[in-house]
Amino acid sequence: MTLAIALLFAAWLIADAPEPVARILAPDAGSELRGVVTLRAALEPPETADSVLRFSFSAAGRTLCQRQRPPFECRWDAGPAPAAREIRASWILRDGRRLSANVRTGGSLILDPVQTAVVHVSAAVTDEKGRAVPGLTQLAFRVSEDEVPQQLTHFVGPDGAREIVVAIDVSSSMAEAMPQVRRAVKVFLGGLRPGDRATLLAFNDSVFTLASRQQDAAARLAAATRLSAWGGTALHDAILRALDQLGAHDGRRALVVFTDGDDQSSLATLEDVERRSETTDVPIYLIGHGRPAREPELRRVLDRLGRVSGGRAFYIERPAQIEAAFAAIGEDLESLYVLGYGSSSGRDDSAWRRIQVSAGSGRRVRAREGYRAAPLQEVRR
């Protein structure tokens, strides 16, 4: 009886506790940021901070720092000129609740010169039987934006070196499939060309790097050996981290993601990821194992990310199919071209612009569906 009373009392205390409130203490709304600044946030009442599992600050969907305990602060270089940004503070509590606070800073909305001067499009070309088509020249391609033909100014063929990030779900539900995943990742990384750079990320509750821009095949294989399953699934955070890394490099780039479930642990939201996919020219290839192959809502999410970015989504039910999915992606990357053009639209808004790419009769082109020309601070190449 004593235990039952104690449990009832504890439940009453939880129910009676005030709902925590998230606040950003600095910067103030409308303030102009330049140079190195300190971002500060807090939870009220203060004792709520003891129940925080993870915290992060982000700007325009890009993670600036992460913490697991107070103080909830972050030093950040905002750049030499003030510009309008959406600053977000996010918390995940140990009971699963998520809290956030946002503030909009002041400054001019300068457009990204990459997005307005040169629009980059990664395009994979295959024949009618799905086989890669190498050896095409710039003259083979036709690109239109909102049905208006564009003049190509940049071109990189499939012989160019590639920058690839592979992000592997190592949550606890992956334990049974992990031997096949390790083998498939090793084969995929081992098949990359000399000169290609590969980064291997693993994600569960957090995202961590096993190999960073490795050109050495032996180092890549050693990194894949360290893949092991435990924890939850921070899929959104992993995709954004990978796109941040790829955005720092030019040329032929691709992101390959393997996951077996829905997001459980990310600070970033699905909306953050979808927004980034509309402003990046990195094709995203996703392999959904298990639940994504059976659940329509998960398929919808992966399909959209792949389609909008110019990549693809694969679905497999059995671990034995994992290697075939990685092999199909590897073949796709063999026919990856990068095209660039100066948009003739003359618009400076963030409206969606549709892109159409063709490469001659009998050839199929997979490319990003379009792009959203967001302000400088909101664009991630």
What are the Cα distances from residue 171, in Å, to 99, 114, 157, 235? Answer: 23, 36, 37, 10
Residue-level pLDDT at 227 = 81
Looking at per-residue pLDDT, the higher value among 52 and 113 belongs to: 52
**Contact between 313 and 288 (Cβ < 8 Å):** yes
**Residue 44: HSE in the Cβ half-sphere, 13 Å Cα cutoff:** 7
What confidence tier does 318 reach under pLDDT thresholds 50, 70, 90?
confident
* Residue scoring higher pLDDT (321 or 83): 321
* Mean pLDDT (whole number) for 55-72: 80
Q: How confident is the model at residue 314 (pLDDT cuts 50, 70, 90)?
A: very high
Spell out the domain ranges in the chain. 2-104, 113-157+338-378, 162-334
Task: Specify the pLDDT at position 349.
Answer: 65
Q: What is the CATH number of domain 2-104?
A: 2.60.40.10
State residue 211 phi and psi, 5-degree precision.
-150, 135
pLDDT tens-digit map of 209-223: 988 887 777 888 888
Element (H, E) at 292: helix 291-294
For residue 249, give the amino acid letter: H
What is the model's pLDDT at position 4? Answer: 53
Q: Are 25 and 42 in contact (CB under 8 A)?
A: yes
Residue 292: pLDDT band by 50, 70, 90 thresholds?
confident
The domain covering 162-334 belongs, at the CATH homologous superfamily level, to: von Willebrand factor, type A domain (3.40.50.410)
Q: What is the mean pLDDT of the chain?
A: 83
Segment holding 127, helix H or strand E = strand 119-127
